[in-house]
Amino acid sequence: MPLQATVSNTATGSGQRAKSDTLYRGIFSATSGITIMGVAKIFRDSTDHVLQLDSFAVSAGPDLKVYLAKEYPPVNFINLGSLQYNSGSQLYKIPAGVNFSEYSYVLIHCQQYNHLFGYASLK
Amino acid sequence: MKKILFTGLLGLLVQNKIMAQGCSDAGFCTLPIRSTKIGHTAIQQRNALSLETSYNIGEEQTTIIGLSVQYDRKFSNALTWHNKITASNMHGAFGNAFNAGDIYSTVTYVPKGQKDNAVSFLAGVKIPLTGSNDKINGVSLPMVFQSSLGTYDFVAGASLLLAKWELNAAVQIPVINSNKNSFLSTYSPIPGFLSTNLFQRKADALLRVGYPFTAGGGKWLFNPNLLGIYHLGKDSYENIFGKREAIQGSDGFTLNANLQVKYLLPKNASLQFSIASPLVVRDSRPDGLTRSLVAAVGYSFGW
């Protein structure tokens, strides 16, 4: 069954998650010329999976998006929407049905210039 | 001489209509008329400058104030070069946005030796001044809030005088797509707008039928007309899964009713007024060009 685009990237809160709630996590690494820091965490919030960018900060960019991707640079990906803030903790709902063993990267990607800013490999 | 000038003006008329609003729907109706069978006009001079503003009501009651400045240079009775720059202010559910729009550069050509100089042609380009990805407080905006389609277009057309009727036919073809819009309705805080992430737009073809007439001893020119526009394919966008998706109902026919009025002033100047509204619209209008109302006023002078 194809994934349906029925989610919202509206943050559901920015509080810290208990470590035991986290299903997957990865530390951000930057691409050349970019500064990025923080941790990507996937947890389950009632019925939805949620991505949290924790202790996060990234260089400013014109059109930064948050992707869940199978690889980087992104070819097969899910666009979770525009990056909400360049720094600080933030949450993104994830569409139902995502297989995290396939979509195992969180990317910060400039869509307008097709430039990857940073990536985190989920473990 | 008069006939030649008139034919040149006719070509300009076609050109103006094509450029009115990035070529679609009621946008064609935005510009006031500039040609007339009787009396002087700015473009009869070697140089002409036109200033225009329009009030538009677009998708979801978004109001758009359009601004444009046009400079025309007549090289000969057969050849005139037109250059225009546009800007828009959009106000609606997302807030307020303003930006430059497009540059248009076209040439009109009136073949010599034809009876009554009844036929003219035009060709040119539209160059976008934005990537169509303006935002408000970091929030991606739908196309109706964008001042340009973000496409490099080729424009071509022809005009024909047939007894008392004016017929205009034209096409506007996107050649290079530089649209970087990132609006996804899924993530929008405001409902009612179609997704246009990395929007790709198809071409338009138009046919316009007008019946111009004068009043007040030639000081007034009225041109009631019907404008049909066929959007020659389905527009598309990239969905949240990175796949291109055709927008159902974005192709098809739009029919507009339009009244253009021109008042001639002394010293090669004129005032123009135009009001238009669509009678038939496409099922889906992701490009944000469709207007439920267009009202425009312009001033031209030549030297």
What CATH number does the domain containing B229 carry? 2.40.160.40
- pLDDT at site B116: 63
Dist. CA B125–CA B188, nearest whole Å: 33
Q: How many domains does chain B have?
A: 1
Judging contacts by C-beta atoms under 8 Å, the chain B residues touching residue A5 are 184, 186, 239-241
- pLDDT at site B84: 92
Q: What is the mean pLDDT of residues A108-120?
A: 95
Of B133, B180, B240, the CB nearest to A79: B240
Of A9, A77, A112, the CB nearest to B187: A9
Give 10-residue mean pLDDT values along chain B (303 residues). Answer: 37 37 40 40 78 91 94 90 94 96 91 76 92 93 95 90 87 94 94 96 92 90 91 96 96 90 90 90 87 90 91
- pLDDT at site B114: 73
Q: Using an 8 Å CB-CB cutoff, list residues of chain A that contact chain B.
A: 3, 5-10, 63, 65, 74-82, 84, 95, 111-112
For chain A, give the mean pLDDT: 86
Domain range for B216 is: 2-302
Q: Using an 8 Å CB-CB cutoff, list residues of chain B that contact chain A.
A: 131, 133, 138-140, 180, 182, 184, 186-187, 189, 197-198, 238-242
- pLDDT at site B42: 55
Which residues are within 8 A (CB) of A66 and not within 5 positions of it... i.e. 6 or more apart? A9, A51, A53, A79, A80, A81, A82, A83, A92, A106, A107, A108, A109
- pLDDT at site A20: 53
Structure tokens at A21: 């709630």
User: Whose CA is closest to B15, among B77, B84, B61, B66?
Assistant: B84
- pLDDT at site B120: 86
Torsion sign, CA atoms A77, B183, B278, B98: negative
- pLDDT at site A21: 84
Q: What is the mean pLDDT of residues A2-31?
A: 62
**Residue B241 to residue A79, Cβ atoms within 8 A:** yes
Of B140, B239, B242, the CB nearest to A82: B140
- A29 pLDDT exceeds 90? yes
**Residue B187 to residue A95, Cβ atoms within 8 A:** no
Tell me the per-residue pLDDT of A54-91, one tens digit each, with 9 for 90 and over: 999 999 998 999 999 999 999 999 999 999 999 999 99
> Phi first, then psi: what are they for B162, rounded to 5°?
-135, 100
User: Mutation test of the interface with chain B: which of A3, A67, A79, choosing the one with the most B Cβ atoms within 10 A?
Assistant: A79
Of A74, A77, A82, the CB nearest to B138: A82
Q: Is the separation of the CB atoms in B116 and B135 below 8 Å?
A: no
